[in-house]
Structure 1
């Protein structure tokens, strides 16, 4: 039943995309710009991030228009949404004609993948795609290098995952350099292969040495903090009185109070270079915890005002989008009389900032206890976005 509903969602998404393109054509939107913002609307309707919404719309269009047998298998329950996504992903490099041929060759609705795991599905799709068009598969591998990137996401217990997507040769070279540095430190008995634990010194595991070496080589400092600004928001009670109210680290999320105090007040050992701690006082409304506004006549959000909005919003203000803030945008555009102040500013990721400029989209600030935005889509649906609560704020109850 769940797979059948997913198939129905795909059909509805494609129908919605066609309807939106037809409306945009009637409104005089150039053909090259039609369809923009449709994925973002799908994302809001499904309570997903805009990036995820675009992928879901792309999956739906591939299934409905180019892979009918895979869609039939999804509708009948032979495949789930994830495995259908794998088939679409591994045939993305093919033309529409070749994709249909691979879809017919695999014929998952006939039970080809009954009892098979994800790896078997990926292998079969890759092999079929290569048989149909070897050059496109090879070209896809050569273009993949353009997708290299580095990302950061939170991990439990105030840890984080720093991930680098690299060409295989570079990835192997980086890993080999780190392993050689770790093996050399352990075999030579250098001081940096030890760490102080309690009252004694123990040899750090190989993985820890590799991680510390990575940080040191990238930042140029042993601790990786000097010269880098990190924004840690906490209450005065947490900082000075030992309160247990959690803090918030921008770009990561909520962190324990004890950990926050340690980062701010810990004395660095002799082997680490000192780093400076700057305290900035943020004043909030007592009843709501909302940051107070500051007016400005500037055209762009910069300096302290930009930092203020980044601290208030923490991440992109589009509902369900957790992407980092890249743009500080006017809620009411500057050319429409919007002012450059805290109340008319919102932190957005680059994609969401471009999406809100599409025809039919509008945003306005709503009079509420905390900074609230109301986002309207071309279909007339509205969604509200409230600034996340700051550390120490507890909403009143009636």
Structure 2
């Protein structure tokens, strides 16, 4: 039983559980199911403990920043990044964890008691907090009491049921705030791209409900019409092809789009002497065969192709320099760093690169160079500007490594990814699709 909540105690308990997993449990099936349930409750309580500590960290760091004279509007910067690093997750996830930790304990007391008792998951607590965010504090307390005061009932509810119940109560208490929230949500419409298995992608659009339903109906109608006329493609294939054609202009309804793609591949892969995977900027690794197919297809369509040599380090295979004939002005240097780092260099943050950052700050005489440069997402770049964050290139590591030290003294290293074997020299194939 825990007497104190500290690293040594938690590590000791985890070590005991790890040791227990080395042998067969010896339980009958009913006991196995009961133990799985008990462990799930333990996981829920553990995430609640993480939330409690995150909230304490936030309060402590804000107090320290206040003592250092940080303006009130900037206090708390960097705390979510510390939570994310500790939980080995992205800065975005760290922000969500910290926001939940500070809100649930203060504004959703019944939800907090159910969470720390292991009756609900962290995600269920997140959903309740999200669906009541538009309400004032008094109404939020009322929804929390209605939905979460009966822990047995709450535990039996599925996530969709919890969402529906929260939305119904929020609408009953303050319909105007629900309408205002919907309008704010419509302003947040956007499109994202994520890698999918087998060199595919998920293109996701967050749209107002009327637009999303209308788009799906139009694509479905196109698929049904094509299938009825004998098109051998499946309905899903027709819908996907119709969407691409409408955006890129292949269906005659729009002007051809000009699109630039950055592909990093070795010279041997380009000319068929190797199957070293290539890297497509904004997506990730792609097979050499597909990279060659993209280049050959661009040539067949008389599209513009630019080549630039990028040299790999002889011992690590990571990108180390650009063609000396290219001028190293900031725009090209920033592009090189983006191609070298691929995603945000903060450990466990796979967000797209938005800023080219000086690892050692420019104000601290940090050089504007590839060695002192790193690609970061916007949130991580802002986080490291908080007091007592330090970062810089880590020498004598055999690769491009940046070491970051947080205000609590924890150190994290990030290493640039390898793009080629040490025997090969990578080049960038940069081509523009002109339709």
TM-score (norm 1): 0.87
| Contact residue 10 and residue 63 of structure 1 kept, 8 A | no
| Contact residue 150 and residue 165 of structure 1 kept, 8 A | yes
| Contact residue 354 and residue 375 of structure 2 kept, 8 A | yes
Cα deviations by residue, 1:229-261 (Å, 9 ceiling, x for unpaired):
211222223222442322221111112222222
**1:37 is aligned to 2:68:** no
| Contact residue 312 and residue 422 of structure 2 kept, 8 A | no
C-alpha distance in 2 between matches for 1:155 and 1:285: 30
**1:169 is aligned to 2:218:** no
Q: 1:244: which partner in 2?
A: 275
1:85 deviates by 1.3
- Residues 308 and 65 (structure 1), Cα distance of their counterparts in 2 relative to 1, 3 Å cut: same
SS at match of 1:162: strand
- Out of 262, 272, 285, the position equivalent to 2:293 is 262
Cα deviations by residue, 1:290-317 (Å, 9 ceiling, x for unpaired):
3234699x997212x2221111101111
Aligned positions of 1:207-356 closer than 5 A? 207-221=236-250, 227-266=258-297, 273-293=301-321, 301-303=330-332, 305-356=333-384
Q: Which moved more, 1:63-72 or 1:169-178?
A: 169-178
Q: 1:58: which partner in 2?
A: 99
C-alpha distance in 2 between matches for 1:374 and 1:251: 25
1:159 deviates by 0.5
Q: 1:71: which partner in 2?
A: 112
- Out of 62, 65, 81, the position equivalent to 1:24 is 65
Cα deviations by residue, 1:195-244 (Å, 9 ceiling, x for unpaired):
xxxxxxxx222322222222222223479997322112222232224423
- Out of 169, 186, 200, the position equivalent to 1:145 is 186
Cα deviations by residue, 1:63-109 (Å, 9 ceiling, x for unpaired):
11111211111122211111111111111111222212211222355
- Residues 110 and 168 (structure 1), Cα distance of their counterparts in 2 relative to 1, 3 Å cut: closer
Aligned positions of 1:72-221 closer than 5 A? 72-183=113-224, 203-221=232-250
Aligned positions of 1:370-385 closer than 5 A? 370-385=399-414
Q: Which runs of 5+ in 2 are unaligned?
A: 1-41, 424-435
Q: How many residues align?
A: 377
1:328 deviates by 1.2
1:123 deviates by 1.1
Q: Which moved more, 1:243-252 or 1:363-372?
A: 243-252
Q: Which moved more, 1:35-44 or 1:280-289?
A: 280-289
| Contact residue 315 and residue 347 of structure 1 kept, 8 A | yes
| Contact residue 194 and residue 283 of structure 2 kept, 8 A | yes
C-alpha distance in 1 between matches for 2:99 and 2:329: 35
Q: Which runs of 5+ in 1 are unaligned?
A: 194-202
1:141 deviates by 1.2
- Residues 267 and 69 (structure 1), Cα distance of their counterparts in 2 relative to 1, 3 Å cut: closer
Q: Which moved more, 1:136-145 or 1:147-156?
A: 136-145
Cα deviations by residue, 1:101-152 (Å, 9 ceiling, x for unpaired):
2112223553122332111111111122222222212211121111101100
Q: 2:26: which partner in 1?
A: none
SS at match of 1:9: helix
TM-score (norm 2): 0.80
| Contact residue 293 and residue 343 of structure 1 kept, 8 A | no
Aligned positions of 1:358-369 closer than 5 A? 358-367=386-395, 368-369=397-398
| Contact residue 226 and residue 274 of structure 1 kept, 8 A | no
Higher relative contact order (CA 8 A, sep 6+): 2
Q: 1:196: which partner in 2?
A: none
Q: 2:17: which partner in 1?
A: none
C-alpha distance in 2 between matches for 1:105 and 1:248: 52
- Out of 50, 55, 65, the position equivalent to 1:9 is 50
C-alpha distance in 2 between matches for 1:65 and 1:291: 48
C-alpha distance in 2 between matches for 1:171 and 1:117: 25
C-alpha distance in 1 between matches for 2:55 and 2:44: 17
